Amino acid sequence: MRSGPLLVAVALVAASGTSGRAEPAGTKPRVNGGLGLDRKADPSAWSLKIEGAAAGPLTLSLADVQALPAHDLVTELRCVEGWTIVVHWTGARLSDFMARFPPAARDGSAADPRQPERMPPFLALETPGRGYYVGLDLQSALHPQTLLAWAINGQPLSWDHGAPLRLVAPMKYGVKNLKRIGTLRYSFVRPTDFWFEHGYDWYLGH
């Protein structure tokens, strides 16, 4: 059963024509923000690096993520600039990903998402080359609407929307929804965050 995707927008770029109303799903997805998205990068060379996993450092392909149950989600993406848009996302739940590739607990054993008290309380996500990076709390990571998305409005993600894989966390503003995840790190220490370093709240929820 599928029940999946989310929302885009990663940078605080000036928006034009904002009416305060959400644009409906199915319209052309809005492009907003390109921090960390190297236009000269080779899409075929992309991989997802996992740090802090119980199995040790991992390097995954998109197919590894797509082997997890796929979910479709229609939800509203909110930007800190004040505009919103309804987006249809397709991807795997981050909670399913964490169960398949579990983090190491403090004793080094595999932590089970069903026992959050043993889980690292934070995740760090970075674009390839770390041009953009966000931190995510465990509660948000385990939320059933938080996805690792590979499609938007029924189509594979475009390069501008974070292909081949992006974070969708609808309880967060768009700047937390990292495009083109290159590294995912489980952490017992709250990681830094790009916009937190520029004066914004670390959690950036709404």
Residue 35 lies in a domain: no
Cα atoms found within 13 Å of the Cα of residue 76, Cβ hemisphere only? 12
* Separation CA 171–CA 177 (nearest Å): 10
In tens digits, the chain (206 residues) has pLDDT values of: 444 333 333 332 222 233 345 555 555 677 777 788 888 888 889 999 999 999 999 999 999 999 999 999 999 999 988 999 999 999 999 999 999 999 999 999 999 999 999 999 999 999 999 999 999 999 999 999 999 999 999 999 999 999 999 999 999 999 999 999 999 999 999 999 999 999 999 999 98
In a domain, 101, yes or no: yes
Residue 14 lies in a domain: no
Contact between residue 123 and residue 186 where contact means Cβ atoms under 8 Å apart: yes
The answer to whether 5 touches 66, Cβ cutoff 8 Å, is no
Terminal CA-CA length for the chain: 28
Q: Is position 10 within any domain? A: no
In which domain, by residue range, is 83 found? Answer: 46-198
Q: What was the pLDDT predicted at 3?
A: 41
Contact 202, 176 (CB under 8 A): no
* The two structure tokens encoding residue 1: 């059963």
Looking at the domain assignment, is residue 98 inside a domain?
A: yes
Residue 179 lies in a domain: yes
Chain-centre distance for alpha carbon 125: 8
> In 21-134, which ranges are continuous DSSP H helix?
62-66, 94-100
- Residue 4's nearest CA partner among 166, 203, 190 is 166
Both tokens of residue 130? 């770390």
Domain assignment present for 193: yes
Residue in 6, 31, 3, 9 with CA at minimum distance from that of residue 134:
9
Residue 34 is predicted with a pLDDT of: 79
The span from the CA of 80 to the CA of 39, in Å, is: 25
Residues 6+ apart with CB under 8 A from 110: 54, 55, 102, 103, 104
Angle at CA of residue 140, ends 135 and 142, nearest 5°: 115
Within-domain flag for 145: yes
Q: What is the CATH number of the domain that holds 183?
A: 3.90.420.10
- Overall domain count for the chain: 1
